[in-house]
């Protein structure tokens, strides 16, 4: 058997400010799951240094197994097979740790299991019998760890906690008889000269001497108790994670390990479901001022999380988030509750009598209703109890009744930095709103360290991730689907891949300290097929993934992108498809953000355009800057003027980079058809040049700008001059390309006529003061700005009330997949920033 080299000594890595006389440690079941894990723990403990008291749990899963055996024996159900499996597991571990038999471990365990068999064969319903069986796992673990210490074992004593720890049942849980326990410990220590001790966790004795336990997860509580009894200077709890994390890593992969926490923060997180630490552990530590460190047995070099009276300041006011699932909301409503003293007392007294635990309470100042969140399995019992308590008021109509809402989770944000910090609630609520998570109820205590919200269970994971991102504890995550891997789509994928390599992130992550963006490409589609990635797609491999794709289904595509476990979703439509644009309104209404250079939505039917704009009220962002001017800020510039109170009067300019290139080059030295072929080879035209030469694309851009300014213009309202002769408009693309020379003579004649007046040709779009819209070939005056543009430049002139005599001009390259993709990428980042990302 291979044995991993022993880790560095505990003392050398302890981050306490000074060396302590006694150091307490606790090892949980996951740290003691196998013989190899026992050896690893023993290696951690062999180092010289301060005396140590080590509290151990049962091997992983053993307490559950013992509880099941006891229940089966009491219920007269078969238990022999499970007993044999448990016995074999421990004997195999003993054989591995004490292979030469020097420790006598195998024989000792044989006797222990023989005694257990006798107990199970004659079960008793006395609590002491059940507690004795449940606590055997810790007894066995202490002896297994002692054996694993090998030659160092004589320096260690084994302490059965029942010899020392005396407890009593209290209303708030198990209480410790500190004076009696200290007396017993002093007697035990006088009889054991060893400086170090291995102690059973979880088990104790009641005041009447009967065996008892500290409850599930009681080993942490035992550790804190014995750390105080032994006057330890620090308690280290060893587990299978690096420390206390900002959220459950199974739900939030970007959860970070917290460097430090206060007792108050730890209590809040522990109560609201953080599994690393049990809430009861805090009480003895807080009273004694005992520092607690959470560390990873499997990575002892990790510094872990230090918990003390005050934690170090953090960049975010929220230290961590926790989620409690399987809850329900109970609501008592009625006008008769308003101003009536004792209503809450009656309600909670009824719940107390019914043994129903309340996790969260909320009541508005109107006092019309009071609600609380409780465990789902107690909801019906709670409803019946409250209904009985208010039976008369319900019968009189003063109270409407008691309502239960199932399927609720509680999300809690915790942090000392929240105290006195304005805007924390706003950040939380805004993050949830952006992720389309509805809040059912809110509660915040006067300490301000905790804000709890009740949300629907189906929104829980998405809400947790959104809240985590809202406080910059992790990057904002956007689930992205791309439709249309044509020229622009491929250029966008290349830019995403370049961003990923430049920033070295997860998926495509643009991240900096204190906030970032995780663009997680999860789906890609063309007009026929789609590929849906379970986790993420490498942008550089996305097009190839389509070869293994499945038939395109827009509903399935959108549902996959709108993953419930990711806070935000976006579909980027790089196609020119009218069919795809038909889905925008539905996607936006579902909270899926849409980014597109596709002009079909902005210039399509007015009814659809209105539906798309209305759908954005549901929280989805719609960005389409690249529909006009590719990467130029055309729409943004117009929008800025309108939003600040200006009024658009006229628009004119070169709206097509392809046509700009053609007419900047067309001087009669070469035929127009030759220029078109050159533009095709350079990638400036659409696959069918008629899509550019027909003028419809330019007209669509003009419609988009007109609608942006509030004009209800449709494509049919635009006068369009097509450069394609009627005889070539309906033929195949191949025939059109073969007959392209038929354009030469008419256009040469137009050029000659313009030159005769000392002018040139430009293809311009215009919306005048009267609302007349036209696109076509004109001969502008010699001082017109369009005559001085560069090759593929778009040039858009806005005349407004403010810019009446001297128009506002936006000019720059407006053709080519690279600049269009850059415009799309810019829209993606604009939405991300609106969601709170800081790329």
Instruction: Show which residues are catalytic.
Output: 701
Angle 744-756/672-681 helices, nearest 10 degrees? 110
DSSP class of residue 312 equals P
Are the C-beta atoms of 731 and 661 separated by less than 8 Å? no
Pairwise CA distance, residues 100 & 108, whole Å: 14
* Residue 201: HSE in the Cβ half-sphere, 13 Å Cα cutoff: 29
- 762: nearest Cα among 797, 711, 716: 797
State how far the Cα of 450 lies from the Cα of 716, in Å rounded to an integer: 58
By CB atoms closer than 10 A (0-12, 13-18, 19+), residue 416 is buried
DSSP state of 47: S
Residue 482's φ and ψ, nearest 5 degrees, are -115, 130
State how beta strands 515-525 and 476-483 pair: parallel
Exposure letters 252-279 (e unless 16+ CB within 10 A, then b): bebbbbbebbbbbbbbbbbbbebebbbb
DSSP code of residue 252: -
Residue 99's nearest CA partner among 154, 159, 39 is 39
Instruction: Give the burial class of 827: count Cβ atoms within 10 A of its Cβ; 0-12 exposed, 13-18 middle, 19 or more buried.
Output: buried
Show the tokens assigned to 353: 């009598």
Angle between helices 817-834 and 487-503 (to 10 degrees): 60
Which letter, b or e, does each residue of 382-394 get, where b requires 16 or more Cβ atoms within 10 Å of its Cβ?
bbebbeebbeebb
**Residue reference for tokens 């399995």:** 377
Contact 559, 786 (CB under 8 A): no
Q: Are 166 and 180 in contact (CB under 8 A)?
A: yes
Q: DSSP string spanning 603-636? A: HS-HHHHHHHHHHGGGT--EE-GGGTTTTS-HHH
How many Å apart are CA 645 and CA 649, to the nearest integer? 13
Q: Could you give the C-alpha distances from 212 to 139, 161, 218, in angstroms and in order?
A: 13, 11, 11
Strand 166-170 and strand 22-27: the pairing is unpaired
Pairing of strands 260-262, 305-308: parallel
The Cβ of residue 148 has, within 10 Å, a number of other Cβ atoms equal to: 27
> What is the per-residue burial (b if ≥16 Cβ within 10 Å, else e) of 777-800?
bbbbeeebbbbebeebbbbbbbbb
User: Structure tokens of 273?
Assistant: 């479901």
Q: Which residues pair with 444 in a beta bridge?
A: 451
- CA terminus-to-terminus distance, the chain: 50
Q: Which residues contact 614 (CB under 8 A, 6 or more apart)?
A: 585
Torsion over CA of 410, 416, 420 and 425, rounded to 10 degrees? -20
Q: Are 213 and 243 in contact (CB under 8 A)?
A: no
Q: How far apart are CA 218 and CA 795, in angstroms?
A: 73
The two structure tokens encoding residue 484:
């249309």
């Amino acid at each position: 058997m291979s044995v991993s080299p022993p880790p560095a000594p505990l003392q050398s890595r302890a981050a306490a400010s000074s060396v302590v006389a006694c150091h307490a440690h606790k090892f949980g079941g996951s740290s003691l799951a196998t013989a190899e894990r026992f050896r690893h723990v023993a290696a951690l403990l062999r180092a010289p240094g301060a005396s140590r008291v080590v509290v151990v749990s049962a091997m992983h899963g053993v307490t559950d197994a013992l509880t099941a055996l006891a229940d089966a024996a009491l219920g007269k159900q078969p238990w022999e097979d499970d007993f044999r499996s448990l016995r074999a597991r421990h004997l195999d571990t003993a054989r591995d740790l004490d292979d030469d038999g020097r420790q006598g471990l195998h024989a000792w365990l044989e006797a222990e299991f023989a005694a257990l068999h006798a107990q199970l064969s004659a079960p008793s319903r006395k609590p002491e019998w059940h507690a004795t069986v449940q606590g055997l796992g810790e007894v066995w673990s202490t002896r297994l760890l002692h054996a694993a210490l090998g030659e160092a074992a004589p320096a260690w004593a084994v302490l059965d906690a029942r010899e020392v720890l005396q407890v009593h049942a209290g209303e708030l849980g198990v209480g410790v008889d500190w004076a009696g326990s200290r007396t017993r410990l002093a007697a035990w220590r006088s009889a054991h000269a060893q400086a170090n001790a291995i102690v059973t966790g979880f088990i104790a004795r009641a005041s009447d001497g009967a065996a008892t336990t500290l409850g599930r997860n009681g080993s942490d509580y035992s550790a804190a108790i014995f750390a105080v009894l032994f006057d330890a200077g620090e308690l280290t709890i060893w587990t299978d994670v690096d420390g206390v994390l900002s959220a459950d890593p199974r739900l939030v992969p970007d959860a970070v390990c917290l460097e430090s926490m206060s007792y108050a923060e730890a209590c809040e997180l522990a109560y609201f479901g953080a599994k690393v630490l049990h809430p009861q552990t805090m009480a003895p530590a807080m009273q004694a001022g005992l520092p607690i460190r959470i560390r990873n047995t499997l990575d002892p070099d990790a510094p872990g999380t230090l918990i003390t009276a005050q934690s170090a300041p953090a960049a975010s006011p929220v230290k961590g988030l926790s989620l409690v699932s399987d809850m329900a909301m109970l609501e008592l409503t009625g006008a008769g509750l308003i101003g009536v003293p004792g209503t809450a007392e009656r309600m909670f007294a009824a719940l107390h009598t019914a043994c129903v635990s309340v996790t969260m309470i909320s009541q508005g100042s109107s006092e019309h209703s009071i609600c609380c969140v409780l465990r789902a399995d107690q909801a019906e019992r709670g409803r019946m109890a409250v209904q009985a308590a208010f039976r008369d008021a319900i019968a009189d109509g003063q109270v409407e009744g008691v309502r239960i809402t199932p399927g609720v989770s509680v999300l809690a944000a915790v942090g000392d930095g929240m105290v006195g910090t304005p805007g924390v609630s706003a950040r939380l609520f805004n993050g949830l709103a952006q992720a389309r998570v509805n809040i059912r109820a809110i509660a915040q205590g006067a300490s301000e360290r905790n804000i709890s919200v009740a949300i629907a269970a189906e929104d829980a994971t998405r809400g947790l991730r959104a809240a985590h991102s809202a406080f910059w504890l992790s990057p904002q995550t956007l689930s992205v689907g791309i439709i249309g891997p044509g020229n622009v789509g491929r250029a966008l994928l290349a830019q995403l891949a370049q961003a990923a390599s430049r920033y070295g992130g997860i998926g495509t992550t643009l991240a900096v300290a204190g906030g970032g963006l995780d663009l997680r490409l999860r789906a890609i589609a063309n007009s026929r097929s789609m590929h849906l990635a379970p986790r993420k797609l490498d942008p550089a491999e996305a097009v190839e993934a389509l070869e293994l794709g499945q038939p395109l289904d827009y509903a399935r595509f959108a549902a996959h992108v709108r993953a419930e476990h990711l806070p935000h979703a976006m579909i980027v439509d790089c196609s020119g498809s009218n069919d795809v644009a038909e889905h925008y309104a539905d996607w936006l209404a579902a909270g899926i953000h849409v980014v597109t250079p596709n002009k079909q939505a902005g210039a399509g039917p007015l009814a659809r355009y209105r539906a798309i704009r209305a759908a954005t009220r549901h929280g989805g962002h719609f960005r389409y800057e690249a529909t006009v001017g590719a990467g130029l800020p055309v729409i943004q510039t117009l929008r800025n003027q309108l939003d600040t109170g200006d009024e658009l009067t006229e628009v004119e300019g070169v709206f097509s980079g392809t046509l700009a290139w053609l007419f900047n080059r067309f001087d009669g030295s070469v035929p127009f058809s030759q220029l078109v072929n050159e533009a095709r080879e350079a990638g400036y035209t659409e696959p069918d040049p008629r899509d550019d030469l027909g003028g419809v694309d330019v007209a669509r851009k003009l419609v988009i700008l007109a609608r942006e300014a509030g004009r209800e213009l449709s494509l049919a309202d635009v006068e369009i001059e097509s450069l394609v002769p009627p005889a070539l408009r309906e033929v195949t693309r191949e025939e059109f390309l073969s007959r392209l020379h038929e354009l030469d003579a008419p256009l040469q004649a137009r050029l000659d006529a313009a030159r005769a007046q000392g002018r040139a040709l430009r293809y311009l779009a215009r919306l005048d003061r009267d609302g007349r819209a036209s696109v076509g070939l004109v001969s502008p005056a010699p001082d017109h700005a369009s005559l001085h543009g560069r090759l593929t430049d778009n040039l858009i002139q806005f005349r407004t009330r403010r810019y009446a005599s001297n128009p506002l001009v936006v000019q720059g390259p407006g053709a080519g997949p690279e600049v269009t993709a850059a415009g799309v990428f810019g829209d993606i980042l604009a939405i991300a920033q609106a969601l709170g990302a800081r790329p």
